[in-house]
Amino acid sequence: MSKHNEHSSYREKLIEHLFIGELLKLSWLEHDCDLEVAKPEVDNAGYDVILESQKIVRHVQLKASHHSSSTANQKVHIKLGEKSSGCVIWILFDEESLELGPFLFFGNDAGEPLLGLEQLNVAKHSKANSEGVKAERPNIRVVNKGQFERIETISELYDKLFSSVVIRAEPVLENISRENTEFKKLHRIKLWASRPHQHNHHIIRAFLDTAGDRYSVLYLEFKEHAEKEFGLGHFDGHLNSMMTDAGNSHGKVFYREGDRVSVWPEAMAEIERYFL
């Protein structure tokens, strides 16, 4: 019997603590230490942990498998769909080092409920009754591995959990306020430069590729290059979150004038320092 089977409960708790530790570390480094973590006293609604950041509350069911595991699906309680931004995070990890990642995510955008659980296949008990029949578990649904979204890094997962993709910036420069010239989140550009798998890194790289020696690009060319070269989904949401310092946004880097996207001079100074 392998160590993973013999001490499965121990490993389950260990992976959970390592995972929460990684989220807290990221909150410390990049998100103003605002992440709160809570555990349910009674587990009857299908979630293992409650995470809150920037007024977004996530009820999370945690699953874990090492990379060589043959597990093809996970079982989810339908009550998870009734909880605030319910989701399932399937943590993949190295069998020897216990290094975490990538991560599989089943859920909706930040602030949105988990929908459609009732339509999934009903799970059955693993053991048959005296008649050889495996009874159904009416409150449990089966989610296949292919229905999860693969997320490579803990930083991208944090964004998925807590970043809204509906932040809007003014489309015309004359309507963009310059009253706040502090650019409070520009320090993040240095961090993004060191994280080549992060969406923000991809956005800036796509801008630099498209812009050449200019400080503005055509929006459609910018978007097409980001999606084709970096496989970036939800381009508009990520871009909009880099056009303001408000709320849970990533920080004011870009602005939009008609069909062109430009970089604020203050942000370009940081980009040239760390990306070029």
- 173 — pLDDT class (breaks 50, 70, 90): very low
| 52 vs 199 pLDDT, higher one | 52
Contact 196, 203 (CB under 8 A): no
Number of domains in the chain: 2
Q: In terms of domains, do 26 and 130 share one?
A: yes
Q: In terms of domains, do 65 and 133 share one?
A: yes
CA trace torsion 172, 173, 179, 184 (10° rounding): 100
Q: In terms of domains, do 31 and 111 share one?
A: yes
Q: In terms of domains, do 139 and 47 share one?
A: yes
Structure tokens at 5: 């089977």
Q: Which of 75-79, 134-138, 199-203 holds the top average pLDDT?
A: 75-79
Burial class (CB in 10 A: 0-12, 13-18, 19+), 257: middle
Residues 6+ apart with CB under 8 A from 96: none
CA distance 193 to 32: 19
Burial class (CB in 10 A: 0-12, 13-18, 19+), 106: buried
**Mean pLDDT value across residues 70-97:** 94
Q: Which residues pair with 256 in a beta bridge?
A: 261
Q: In terms of domains, do 47 and 184 share one?
A: no
Q: What is the CA radius of gyration of the chain?
A: 21
Q: In what order do the strands lie in the sheet with 100-106?
A: 36-38, 49-53, 56-66, 87-93, 100-106, 149-151
Is residue 146 a part of any domain in this protein? yes
Q: Report the 10 Å Cβ neighbour count for 178.
A: 8
Which residue segment(s) compose the domain that 38 sits in?
3-162
Structure tokens at 48: 């293992």
Q: In what order do the strands lie in the sheet with 122-124?
A: 73-77, 136-144, 122-124
Say yes or no to pLDDT of 204 above 90. Answer: yes
Q: In terms of domains, do 201 and 130 share one?
A: no
Question: pLDDT tens, 15-36?
Answer: 999 999 999 999 998 888 999 9
Contact 103, 89 (CB under 8 A): yes
Structure tokens at 222: 């910018």
CA distance 86 to 145: 18
| 46 vs 62 pLDDT, higher one | 62
The CATH number covering residue 18 comes to 3.40.1350
Question: pLDDT tens, 102-130?
Answer: 999 999 888 888 888 888 999 988 777 77
Instruction: Single out the residue in 122, 141, 162 at which a domain terminates.
Output: 162
